[in-house]
């Protein structure tokens, strides 16, 4: 088979000394960048692009893909160890990874994250290899209505994430969406909600500012109050028994791995979606389908596996539209795309035939990167666990330093650091009063995507919402939309169904 | 202290709900700077979504307030202090030192501000020796500098301390 | 040579040294990394050029300190311009421009930006061209072979144009074309040039007014084709695409300028240094080849020529915006 020959050639390319060396170095850098709160794969890749001018394009893309990949693994580390998502892609990993770490099972959480990432990455790169050309066609059919339907589906899966207090949960979703509308309105080109005319609001509110505020500053204030600044975090031993136990727990997460791998890949190849919605959707769906959905949020291993499998799978998937269409599937691939143009390559349908060494070298390197990142990640877990052994009184200021620098770095604006402090304090107060904060973070990430897709669709349909439900004109959008409606109604019907069932 | 223990969860619940309701209202008014209507020509105006989203927020807050007076939520019955009086010191000192830190960054620059912040914070909260605190407060900003400015090439704010870094840059590049 | 002459020569040269050392001690050298502000998001046209400039400087060691690109895409360039305005006198800040620096001060008067006094224009390196694109398999544009076919079709019915955001260059350009040719078209804004190109080939829009680099991939694979390039002459990157002058529409001419500006109030020495640095980049082989292959026009302009050019363009855009509204 032709694909096999090309793939072997690609793996061979990836094993060349320069490429292999860069690959391993890239994985390490990625793990580190991903683990830093506020720095994700986007920052890592953007920052390292200038370095790649000195090597050939194939080595450059292998290096950057390894950074991207490693960051997906690394994001889980700070989610679990510090309770702060290292990147938006690891937001969902906090939900169960953090409770596990607090229970003293950080080892289990980290192993689950690593193995889940490996499974997701591997499944997705195999799918990538087999279906690259036909899937490029699917991606091309995803226009505004389909994207909006997908976003509705993503929001539908969040419904199950909130607490018991419905007005407070809905408030949290709405405030996230409202915050996401600040800044320039793409459709009319007008600035919106520029409070007090401050120019810092012109770029809108970066989700990182809210996420670092709530999960960094807010979380620290909460922990300070709980521990009164005295208590040291629980100690942990690292040995093979722990790893074995963790692997045992993974057997039960078959469902989560399947959902994460396939859903992640599918969402990843859709333009503009990327790994963040993929990991959130995977978490939401796994929770709804799981037999033990009540354990989610209190340290379910499957709750770590689902998002981690999905984000790795999606990051591989998002390279597909980048290579075949020249359309970035995620913010990180947008930067990779810029890099490719600078190296003198034209991303697009012809790349596979014109630059086979580049494309297949990249695909081959993904197989190898997956393996190395797994090994490096597991090998470095003892080092990550040392974070937990640091007394809280020392850890807290270090985290504040990371939050302040992480809040400043992406936009280079002190304005955002102030906002981050405000969100941190607000998040702390709201959390104490049982307002769920996760939905707000999720909505601020997806809000702009959803709004643009909605309004583009409405321009096309002359303002009719019918465009989303028309099976003949937009079959893909309609199918996704109806699935989303079923998903919204499922938690509502769940209790009724159970009642009827029990009584019968 | 007594003031802190008198501010119960119950009081916090209603105070926060009222503040959020007022903020939602302010957001609605702010949204009206852009067109909030839906016309057939251009469908949604730029203010449409922010307006109705903040209206939704307002409705949620009103529901929280109604739940409070009907005593439906656990918070509306909770007479325990909102912030543990013993822990109040930790939370407030942390918050204030963070605010001072961000102010200082704008003026002194991040690296020098961090030295003072770390030294103060560690002295106040940890029982480490003066030597440890001094070393820690000096090394952390140096590592931050190396990581951001040298490795990642992201400039962090330096305020009035900027000229002090020129020789360092000359040495680095 | 007489002794007197010799002495006077020495004296003159000494005094020259003295004068030059008094007036300007040393030529300017950057003391810290140079911030390059990009008033657009990552992955767009301006971002691409900015990072190319950074790469070329880094690779060849053209500057003693690194150049650090920073994206400030808020408010159609409003955020970047406000930032650079506040940095008046700062010797380590540059900004790359796209046409939004010409429109935003007019569109958003509340920002209080004075285009002519808040910045120091350094040099224009490149002008990017615009083409009218349709999809080869476009369901609503079947049978369209020439620009005149297209205009005839556009006059009949409601075609959909894809673009990079309201009040951006391509919407203004579309507004100009509507007025000139008397057709009407829906305008759907997308979040970037790449997304616009994809929307066209994916069948969501019927035509676009993209820069060459944004459509290059689809153009080379034959999925999209260009009908006209809005320039006086044909371009070597698109040999078969007619220019608007050839087709008899000399009014249909529009460019995107890629120039660099510094904050206001910098010394002449600093201005000279950065203009020189940019010229070194401009003359670099790699830089030239990359841009020419991409269908861009290499068009160095500095000093008074640049100031005049900016003044004319600024007025022209103010006029377009007035007509548009």
Query: For residue C222, is it within any domain?
Result: yes
Residue A145: per-residue pLDDT: 87
Average pLDDT, chain C: 85
Query: Which of A8, A49, A19 is CA-nearest to residue A372?
Result: A19
**Exposure class string for B107-136: b at 16+ Cβ within 10 A, else e:** ebbbbbbbbbbbbbbbeebbebeeeebbeb
**Chain C contacts to B (CB-CB under 8 A):** 31-33, 35, 64-66, 68
Domain boundary among C183, C211, C229: C229
C-alpha distance from A443 to closest chain C C-alpha (Å) = 19
Angle, nearest 10°, between helix axes C303-324 and C169-181? Answer: 60
All structural domains of chain B with their residue ranges: 2-76, 85-172
* More confident of the two residues C80 and B40: C80
The SS3 assignment for C159 reads strand
Q: With CB atoms and an 8 Å threshold, state whether A202 touches C47.
A: no
Which stretches of chain C are assigned E, i.e. beta strand? 34-38, 67-71, 93-96, 119-129, 131-135, 159-163, 185-189, 207-208, 224-229, 255-263, 297-302
Mean pLDDT of C171-183: 86
Tally of structural domains, chain C: 2
Residue A234: per-residue pLDDT: 43
Q: With CB atoms and an 8 Å threshold, state whether A229 touches B90.
A: yes
Q: How far apart are CA A46 and CA A48, in angstroms?
A: 6
Q: With CB atoms and an 8 Å threshold, state whether A430 touches B12.
A: no
For residue C228, what are its two tokens? 């006209």
Query: For residue C88, is it within any domain?
Result: yes
C-alpha distance from C229 to closest chain A C-alpha (Å) = 21
SS3 sequence of A67-92: HHHHHHHHHHHHHHHCCCCCCHHHHH
Mean pLDDT of C102-114: 86
Q: Where are the alpha helices (DSSP H) in A15-56?
A: 17-35, 41-48
CB contacts of C29 in chain B (<8 Å) are none
CB contacts of B156 in chain A (<8 Å) are 405, 408-409
Q: What is the pLDDT of residues A396-412, one digit of tens each?
A: 888 888 889 888 887 78
Closest alpha carbon within chain C to A321? C198
Q: With CB atoms and an 8 Å threshold, state whether C68 touches B165.
A: no
**Residue C190: CATH number of its domain:** 3.40.190.10
CB contacts of B84 in chain A (<8 Å) are 225, 228
Domain boundary among C211, C229, C247: C229
CB contacts of C204 in chain A (<8 Å) are 143-144, 460
Residue A465: per-residue pLDDT: 83
CB contacts of A200 in chain C (<8 Å) are 79
Q: Give the best residue of B151, B164, B170, B173 to mutate against chain C (max C CB count within 10 A).
A: B173
* More confident of the two residues A343 and B6: B6
Which value, in Å, is the radius of gyration of the alpha carbons in chain B? 24
Closest alpha carbon within chain C to B168? C32
Q: pLDDT above 90 covers what percent of chain C? A: 34
Query: For residue C156, is it within any domain?
Result: yes
- Does C84 share its domain with C141? no
Query: For residue C245, is it within any domain?
Result: no
C-alpha distance from B127 to closest chain C C-alpha (Å) = 39
CB contacts of A410 in chain C (<8 Å) are none
Query: For residue C286, is it within any domain?
Result: yes
pTM, entire model:
0.78
Q: How far apart are CA A48 and CA A53, in angstroms?
A: 10
Confidence at C20, pLDDT banded by 50, 70, 90 = very low
Mean pLDDT of B20-38: 91
Query: For residue C105, is it within any domain?
Result: yes
Q: With CB atoms and an 8 Å threshold, state whether A192 touches B46.
A: yes
Query: Which of A59, A112, A99 is CA-nearest to residue A243?
Result: A112
- Does C46 share its domain with C83? yes
Pick B63's closest partner by Cβ from A167, A229, A425: A167
Residues of chain A with pLDDT under 50: 231-235, 503-504
CB contacts of B100 in chain A (<8 Å) are none
Residue B64: per-residue pLDDT: 93
Which value, in Å, is the radius of gyration of the alpha carbons in chain A? 22
How many residues make up chain B in this entry?
173
Query: For residue C247, is it within any domain?
Result: no
Q: pLDDT above 90 covers what percent of chain B? A: 53
Segments forming the whole domain that contains residue C101: 34-127+255-324
- Does C264 share its domain with C119? yes
Q: What is the pLDDT of residues A218-229, one digit of tens each?
A: 878 887 887 665
For residue A234, what are its two tokens? 């629980």
Q: With CB atoms and an 8 Å threshold, state whether C221 touches A140.
A: no
Q: With CB atoms and an 8 Å threshold, state whether C68 touches B155.
A: yes
- Does C40 share its domain with C89? yes
The SS3 assignment for A172 reads helix
């Amino acid at each position: 088979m032709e694909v096999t020959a090309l793939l072997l050639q690609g793996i061979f390319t990836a094993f060349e000394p320069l490429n292999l060396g860069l690959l391993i170095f890239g994985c390490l850098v990625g793990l580190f960048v991903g683990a830093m709160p506020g720095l994700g794969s986007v920052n890592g890749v953007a920052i390292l692009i200038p370095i790649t001018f000195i090597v050939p394009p194939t080595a450059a893309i292998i290096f950057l893909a390894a950074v991207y990949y490693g960051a997906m693994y690394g994001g889980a580390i700070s989610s679990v160890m510090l309770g702060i998502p290292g990147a938006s892609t690891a937001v969902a990993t906090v939900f169960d990874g953090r409770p596990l770490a607090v229970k003293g099972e950080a080892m289990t959480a980290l192993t689950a994250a690593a193995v889940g990432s490996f499974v997701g990455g591997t499944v997705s790169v195999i799918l990538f290899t087999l279906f690259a050309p036909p899937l490029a066609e699917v991606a091309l059919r995803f226009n505004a209505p389909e994207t909006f339907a997908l976003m509705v589906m993503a929001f539908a899966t969040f419904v199950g994430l909130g607490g018991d207090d419905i007005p407070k949960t809905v408030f949290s979703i709405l405030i996230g969406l409202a915050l996401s509308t600040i800044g320039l309105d793409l459709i009319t080109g007008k600035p919106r909600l520029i409070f007090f005319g401050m120019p810092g609001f012109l770029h809108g509110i970066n989700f990182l500012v809210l996420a670092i505020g709530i999960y960094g500053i807010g979380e620290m204030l909460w922990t300070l109050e709980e521990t009164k600044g005295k208590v040291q975090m629980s100690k942990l031993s690292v040995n093979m028994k722990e790893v074995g136990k963790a692997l045992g727990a993974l057997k039960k997460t078959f469902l989560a791995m399947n959902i994460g791998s396939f859903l992640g890949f599918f969402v990843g190849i859709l333009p503009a979606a990327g790994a963040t919605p993929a990991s959130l959707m995977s978490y939401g769906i796994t929770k709804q389908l799981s037999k033990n959905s009540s354990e989610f949020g209190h340290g379910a291993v499957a709750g770590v596996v689902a998002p981690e499998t999905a984000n790795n799978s999606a990051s591989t998937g998002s390279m597909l539209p980048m290579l075949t269409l020249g359309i970035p599937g995620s913010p990180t691939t947008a930067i990779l795309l810029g890099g490719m143009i600078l190296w003198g390559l034209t991303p697009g349908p012809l790349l596979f035939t014109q630059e086979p060494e580049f494309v297949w070298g990249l695909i081959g390197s993904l197989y190898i990167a997956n393996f190395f990142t797994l090994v490096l990640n597991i090998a470095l877990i003892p080092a990550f666990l040392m974070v937990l052994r640091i007394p809280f009184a020392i850890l807290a200021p270090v985290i504040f330093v990371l939050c302040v620098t992480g809040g400043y770095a992406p936009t280079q604006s002190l304005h955002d650091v102030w906002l981050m402090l405000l969100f941190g304090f607000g998040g702390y107060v709201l959390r104490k009063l049982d307002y769920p904060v996760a939905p707000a973070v999720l909505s601020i990430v997806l809000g702009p995507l959803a709004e643009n897709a909605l309004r583009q669709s409405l321009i096309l349909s002359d303002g009719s919402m019918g465009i989303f439900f028309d099976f003949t004109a937009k079959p893909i959008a309609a199918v996704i939309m109806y699935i989303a409606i079923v998903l919204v109604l499922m938690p509502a019907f769940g209790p009724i169904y159970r009642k009827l069932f029990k009584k019968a | 202290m007594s003031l802190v223990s008198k501010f119960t969860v119950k009081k916090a619940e209603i105070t926060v709900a009222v503040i959020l309701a007022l903020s939602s209202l302010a957001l609605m008014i702010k949204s009206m700077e852009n067109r909030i209507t839906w016309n057939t020509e251009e469908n949604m105006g730029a203010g449409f979504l922010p307006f109705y989203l903040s209206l939704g927020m307002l409705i949620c807050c009103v529901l929280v307030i109604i739940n409070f007076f009907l005593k439906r939520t656990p918070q509306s019955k909770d007479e325990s202090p909102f912030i543990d009086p013993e822990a109040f010191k930790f939370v407030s000192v942390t918050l204030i030192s963070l605010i001072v830190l961000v102010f200082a960054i704008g003026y002194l620059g991040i690296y020098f501000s961090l030295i003072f912040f770390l030294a103060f914070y560690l002295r106040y909260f940890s029982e480490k020796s003066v030597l440890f605190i001094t070393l820690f407060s000096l090394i952390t900003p140096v590592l931050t500098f190396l990581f951001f400015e040298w490795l990642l090439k992201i400039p962090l704010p330096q305020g009035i301390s900027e000229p002090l870094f020129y020789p360092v840059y000359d040495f680095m590049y | 040579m007489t002794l007197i002459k010799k002495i006077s020569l020495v004296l003159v040269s000494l005094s020259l040294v003295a004068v030059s050392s008094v007036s300007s001690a040393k030529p300017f050298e950057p003391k810290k990394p140079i911030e390059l502000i990009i008033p657009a998001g990552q992955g767009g046209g301006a971002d691409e050029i900015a990072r190319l400039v950074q790469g070329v400087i880094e690779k060849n060691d053209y500057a003693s300190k690194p150049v650090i690109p920073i994206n400030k895409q808020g408010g159609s360039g409003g955020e970047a311009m406000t930032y650079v305005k506040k940095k008046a006198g700062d010797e380590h800040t540059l900004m790359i421009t796209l046409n939004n620096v010409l429109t935003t001060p007019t569109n958003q008067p509340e920002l209080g930006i004075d285009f002519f006094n808040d910045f120091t224009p350094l040099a224009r390196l490149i002008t990017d061209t615009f083409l009218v694109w349709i999809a080869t398999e476009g369901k609503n544009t079947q049978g369209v072979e020439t620009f005149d076919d297209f205009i005839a079709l556009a006059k009949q019915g409601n075609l959909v144009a894809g673009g990079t955001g309201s009040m951006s260059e391509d919407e203004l350009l579309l507004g100009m074309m509507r007025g000139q040719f008397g057709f009407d078209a829906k305008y759907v804004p997308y979040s970037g040039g790449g997304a616009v190109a994809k929307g066209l080939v994916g069948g969501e829009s019927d035509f676009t007014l993209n820069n060459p680099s944004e459509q290059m991939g689809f153009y080379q694979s034959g999925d999209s084709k260009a009908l006209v390039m809005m320039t006086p002459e044909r371009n070597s990157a698109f040999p078969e695409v007619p220019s608007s002058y050839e087709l008899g529409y000399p009014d249909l001419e529009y460019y995107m300028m890629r120039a660099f500006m510094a904050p206001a109030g910098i010394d002449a020495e600093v201005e000279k240094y950065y203009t020189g640095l940019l010229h070194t980049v401009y003359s670099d082989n790699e830089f030239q080849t990359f841009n020419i292959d991409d269908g861009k026009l290499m068009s160095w302009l500095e000093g008074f020529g640049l100031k005049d050019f900016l003044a004319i363009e600024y007025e022209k855009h103010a006029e377009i915006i007035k007509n548009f509204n």
